[in-house]
């Protein structure tokens, strides 16, 4: 099975990353792929987007959380065994008339407790410590088990906005990286930090792979290949001069190519012309709160959800935007979308 693992990451927060993963997971499912969304952000916003509060209470009981990602790695944390079999939360929707092909690896606020152990064992990999390799590769091996049990075509990974040990382990587990961003100074600075960090982590992991002491322990390759960026424009721009907005967005192609791809930027091109730009998504105004209230993607909203009048056309536009983005990412990540669409 050739399942592709795609991480969505920017160490600048507030760029719409979780919403992007959520909508792409639904879109790929709608296009006929078997998809798993993985919530590796300890804030667990992706999980709360997919699931009603009543179900979250069942999955997050007081004490042990056996149905979450944190529960899966607890045997490693407690040094009483290897990762547990991951629980898959299947996501059903009225649009799906037959068996669901979308599942979630449930996030957990307790996952932040795994950060210290991931930091602690990172240098021990260079000493050939088998347990260190098992801890660092826990996310990847958990997702591999998920890919087999769900017969998964595609795994989409949501990450928190930082350069900590959890994200390092998650990115090592990824084949590809998509960078969501907004056109502002902070996103550009995030890009400048992201590129060198990815290259350093990739090299450090390659050095460690040579020290793996267990022939039967399969480990991730650590590809984490950047495939492009997605610019999400938000409505909170009314207090910002258009001139300043255009200035920041014009800088993105150069910063991405030089700092993320480590290539010389020679052509003075706009975001719209940049082959590294996967999409420039406009603000969808009031559709987003409707989506959050209904626990469904914007392109599944119905009149009963409040999508009436001009919103009906906006829903169709959102569908086409995300369909186009899904195909563009698929083209660059060896993901095969069925021809029926």
257, 265 contact by CB (below 8 A): yes
pLDDT for residue 286: 79
Q: Is 339 exposed, middle or buried (0-12, 13-18, 19+ CB in 10 A)?
A: exposed
pLDDT for residue 3: 94
pLDDT for residue 236: 47
Mean pLDDT of the chain: 90
Whether pLDDT at 37 is above 80: yes
Distances (CA, A) of 210 to 120, 139, 155, 202: 19, 20, 27, 13
> Which has the minimum average pLDDT: 30-39, 67-76, 280-289?
280-289
The CATH code of domain 4-332 reads 3.40.50.300
- Residue 225 backbone phi and psi in degrees, to 5: -80, 120
Residue 152 CA to residue 139 CA, distance in Å, equals: 16
Q: Secondary structure of 289-326 in the HEC alphabet?
A: HHHHHHCCCHHHCCHHHCCCCHHHHHHHHHHHHHHHHH
261, 199 contact by CB (below 8 A): no
Residue pLDDT, tens place only, 164-220? 999 999 999 999 999 999 888 888 888 999 999 999 999 999 999 999 999 999 999
Q: Give Cβ neighbours of residue 55 (< 8 Å, ≥ 6 apart).
A: 89
pLDDT for residue 94: 46
Mean pLDDT calculated for residue range 104-110: 96
- Identify which has the larger pLDDT, 70 or 61: 70
Residue pLDDT, tens place only, 273-330? 999 999 998 877 678 888 888 889 999 988 888 878 777 888 899 999 999 999 999 9
pLDDT for residue 2: 86
End-to-end CA, the chain: 22
Structure tokens, 314 = 């906006």
The count of residues in the chain is: 341
pLDDT for residue 323: 96
Structure tokens, 202 = 């990739």
Provide the whole-model pTM: 0.94
Q: What angle do CA 202, 205, 211 make, to 5 degrees?
A: 155
Structural element, H or E, at residue 180: strand 176-181
Q: How confident is the model at residue 96 (pLDDT cuts 50, 70, 90)?
A: very low
What does the DSSP assignment read for 72-87? HHHHHHTTSSSPPPPP
- What percent of the chain shows pLDDT beyond 90? 69
Q: Give Cβ neighbours of residue 245 (< 8 Å, ≥ 6 apart).
A: 183, 237
What does the DSSP assignment read for 228-294? EEEEE--STTTTS-HHHHHHHHHHHHHHIIIIIS-----S---GGG-TTEEEEEPP-TTHHHHHHHH
């Amino acid at each position: 099975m050739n399942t592709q693992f795609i991480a969505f990451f920017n160490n600048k927060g507030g760029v719409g990353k979780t919403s992007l993963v959520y909508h792409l997971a639904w879109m790929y499912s709608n296009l006929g792929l078997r998809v798993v969304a993985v919530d590796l952000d300890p804030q667990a916003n992706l999980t709360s987007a997919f699931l009603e509060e009543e179900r979250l209470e069942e999955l997050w009981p007081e004490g042990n959380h056996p149905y979450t990602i944190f529960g899966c790695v607890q045997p490693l944390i407690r040094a009483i065994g290897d990762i547990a079999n991951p629980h898959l939360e299947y996501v059903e929707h009225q649009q799906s008339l037959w068996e669901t092909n979308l599942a979630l690896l449930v996030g957990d606020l307790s996952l932040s407790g795994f950060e210290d152990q991931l930091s602690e064992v990172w240098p021990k990999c260079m000493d050939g410590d088998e347990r260190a390799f098992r801890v660092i590769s826990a996310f990847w091996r958990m997702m591999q088990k998920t890919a087999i049990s769900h017969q998964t075509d595609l795994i989409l990974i949501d990450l928190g906005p930082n350069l900590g040990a959890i994200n390092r382990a998650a990115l090592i587990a990824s084949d590809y990286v998509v960078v969501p961003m907004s056109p502002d100074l902070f996103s550009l600075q995030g890009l400048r930090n992201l590129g060198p960090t990815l290259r350093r982590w990739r090299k450090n992991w390659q050095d460690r792979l040579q020290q793996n002491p267990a022939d039967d322990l399969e480990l991730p390759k650590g590809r984490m290949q950047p495939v492009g960026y997605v610019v999400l424009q938000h409505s909170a721009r009314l207090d910002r001069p258009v001139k300043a907005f255009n200035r920041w967005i014009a800088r993105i192609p150069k910063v991405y190519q030089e700092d993320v791809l480590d290539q010389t930027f020679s052509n003075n091109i706009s975001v719209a012309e940049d082959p590294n730009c996967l999409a420039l998504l406009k603000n969808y105004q009031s559709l987003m709160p409707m989506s959050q209230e209904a626990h469904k993607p914007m392109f599944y909203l119905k009149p009963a959800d409040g999508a009436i009048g001009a919103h009906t056309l906006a829903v169709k536009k959102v569908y086409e935007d995300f369909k186009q983005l899904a195909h563009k990412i698929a083209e660059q990540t060896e993901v095969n979308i069925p021809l029926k669409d």
